[in-house]
């Protein structure tokens, strides 16, 4: 039986989908999986937020992918856009976990992987943006230890040298996107084994 995986989130997911398509001749189609065991689908919204608003990822016209694709596993890259306005990072972290629980309960998803939020170097994100990212990541990491149906994924190779891997102080350049793709692939592979 094919294991279906949905890669879900904001512009990082959209850019990952485009990157993989451009690099399909190098084996990156379907996130590098052959498709007989794991089938990958992408759903993304540039500027997407967890909080209510015009780009809220929880709107039905965006969430319909859960009905049509029926994923076994969901990899989520969410929360980064919310942090520009969020004063309470721990509340955002709790809301991310609540959304993951909602997806599990309502749509029958077996496992959710929450991707580590990444730093930004844009002044428009706020002077304390990266500090808030650290708080959200720390809260997610600690609170999800011991959970069997939700995993927090640390993006290896994207933290210490992130500034050199960004194209516009927010989004990853090609070198950064390759590292990100490898991380998402590893997260998907590890979630299938759970």
pLDDT tens-place string over residues 146-168: 999 999 999 887 666 666 776 66
Q: What is the value of pTM for the model shown?
A: 0.91
What b/e readout covers 145-165, taking b as 16+ CB neighbours within 10 angstroms? Answer: eeeeebbbbebebbeeebeeb
* Inter-residue contact 168 to 142 (CB < 8 Å): no
* CA pair distance 16, 21, nearest whole angstrom: 9
| CB-CB neighbours of 53 under 10 Å | 13
Range of the domain at 49: 3-192
What is the average pLDDT value for the chain, to the nearest integer?
89
Read off the CATH number of the domain in which 117 is found.
Answer: 3.40.50.1110
* CA pair distance 57, 97, nearest whole angstrom: 14
| CB-CB neighbours of 24 under 10 Å | 11
**pLDDT tens figures, 95-136:** 999 999 999 999 999 999 999 998 877 666 667 888 999 999
| CB-CB neighbours of 10 under 10 Å | 23
Domains held by the chain: number: 1
* CA pair distance 40, 71, nearest whole angstrom: 9
3-9: strand order across its sheet: 38-44, 3-9, 73-77, 111-115, 150-153
**pLDDT tens figures, 47-88:** 899 999 999 999 998 999 999 999 999 999 999 989 988 889
How confident is the model at residue 89, as a pLDDT? 96
* CA pair distance 164, 158, nearest whole angstrom: 10
pLDDT level of residue 18 (50, 70, 90 thresholds): confident
* Inter-residue contact 131 to 159 (CB < 8 Å): no
* Inter-residue contact 158 to 176 (CB < 8 Å): yes
* CA pair distance 136, 150, nearest whole angstrom: 16
* DSSP designation for 2: P
């Amino acid at each position: 039986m094919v294991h279906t995986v949905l890669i879900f989130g904001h512009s990082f997911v959209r850019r990952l989908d485009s990157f993989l398509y451009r690099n399909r001749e190098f084996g990156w189609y379907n996130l590098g999986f052959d498709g007989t065991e794991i089938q990958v689908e992408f759903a993304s919204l540039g500027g997407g937020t967890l909080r209510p608003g015009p780009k809220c990822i929880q709107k039905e016209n965006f969430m319909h992918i859960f009905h049509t694709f029926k994923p076994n596993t969901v990899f989520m890259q969410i929360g980064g856009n919310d942090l520009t306005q969020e004063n309470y990072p721990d509340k955002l972290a709790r809301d991310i976990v609540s959304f993951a629980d909602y997806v599990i309960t309502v749509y029958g998803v077996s496992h959710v992987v929450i991707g580590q939020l990444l730093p930004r170097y844009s002044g428009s994100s706020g002077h304390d943006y990266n500090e808030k990212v650290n708080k959200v990541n720390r809260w997610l990491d600690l609170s999800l230890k011991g959970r069997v149906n939700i995993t927090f994924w640390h993006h290896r190779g994207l933290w210490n040298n992130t500034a050199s891997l960004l194209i516009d102080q927010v989004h990853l350049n090609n070198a950064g996107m390759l590292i990100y793709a490898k991380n998402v692939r590893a997260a998907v592979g590890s979630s299938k084994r759970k």
